[in-house]
Amino acid sequence: MNIGDIRQEYTQAGLSRSDLQADPLQQFELWFEQARAAELPEVNAMSIATVTPDGMPQVRTVLLKLFDARGFVFFTNYNSAKAREINANPQASILFPWLALERQVRISGTVEKISQMESFKYFTSRPRGSQLGAWISEQSQVISNRTVLKTLLQQIKEKFKDGEVPLPDAWGGYRIIPSSYEFWQGRANRLHDRFKYQKTQSGDWQIDRLAP
């Protein structure tokens, strides 16, 4: 199989400077709603890249659960590999691959923990099964087999059978505070439209077209 022969021309749309909102968050919200309207699967799925203390990049997919003027929020175990990497180097990049629309959005910035109250508010909105799962998964740690998880799940179900499931100490949210955005629209002949928003020292957003 020669995967070099796999090709697709991107012809759905173009992107010009006049199309863009002055505020990149408004531009993101516009594209996000268009992706939702197109009924893309897992429209809030985003790849997040961090770096280990020895400089090795790491990337995985998580779910965006909140975005507003303060930034982009996802949730995880605070002892996970990604959390340890963020604690050592509080910077990250995220990517939304809306490929069915021939679009991508890249966002980079600093990362901070959200408040415990914010984490609690989201935690209580989760299905009970997901709440219980947050208690038993020592994320990124080696386990012998899946039976370990099933046993722990039964134990935690018994522990909290008579009441609400409390927020685990080692679980909560991180907020990515953007310093740059890139909006990518596929075009024919690989001459894609790319626009980068960069935060300036004055706090404004500078918009530049990038070569494809």
List the catalytic residues: 190
Using the structure block, give the residue that is written with the tokens 């990337």.
59
Give the H/E segment covering residue 183.
Answer: strand 171-185
Report yes or no: 207 and 19 within 8 Å, Cβ to Cβ: no
Give the H/E segment covering residue 103.
Answer: strand 103-113
- Taken in order 38, 40, 44, 46, the sign of the CA dihedral is negative
Classified as helix, coil or strand, 14 is coil
